Structure 1
Amino acid sequence: MKEYSVVPNENDNGWIVKLEDVSPIYSSITREEAIEEAKRVASVNTPSKIIIFTHNHEMDDEIKFNS
């Protein structure tokens, strides 16, 4: 199962979508835009899941996509 995460960007005030919490695949100014991109990518790469974090790096939500 592929795992995507939406995390705050430490270098600026934006947000990053990462694959397996390692490789950044998308960068956005808003959290909502990053979440939408993560949903789009995860939905075409099933089975997968998205873990969404807060500005404080705490887990906020988890969304699963099955085939």
Structure 2
Amino acid sequence: MNQYTITPNKDVTGWYVEIEDVAPTNLYQTKAAAIEEGEKIAKNNKPSKLVIMDEDHNVAEERTFGE
């Protein structure tokens, strides 16, 4: 299963979509924009899981696609 993670940048001024916890993709200005992009990527690469972190890098939510 592919895993994608939404994480804040160092200063929590933007949000990344990380693919398999390896390399972040683009930086998004808002958490909502990063989640939207993460969902698109996860839905296109089923089965997959989207893990959404909070500002303190704790897991806030997990979404599964195509299990």
- TM-score scaled by length of structure 2: 0.92
1:33: which partner in 2? 33
CA displacement, residues 12-65 of structure 1 (integer Å, 9 cap, x when unaligned): 610000011111123201000000000001001000010000001110000000
- Unpaired stretches in structure 2, ≥5 consecutive residues: none
- Dislocated runs of 4+, deviation >6 Å: none
Q: Between the two proteins, what is the percent identity of the paired residues?
A: 37
Q: CA RMSD in A?
A: 1.4
TM-score by length of 1: 0.92
AA in 2 matched with 1:31: K
Q: Could you say which residue in structure 1 is the equivalent of 2:43? A: 43
Question: Which consecutive unaligned segments of at least 5 residues does structure 1 have?
Answer: none
Equivalences, count: 67
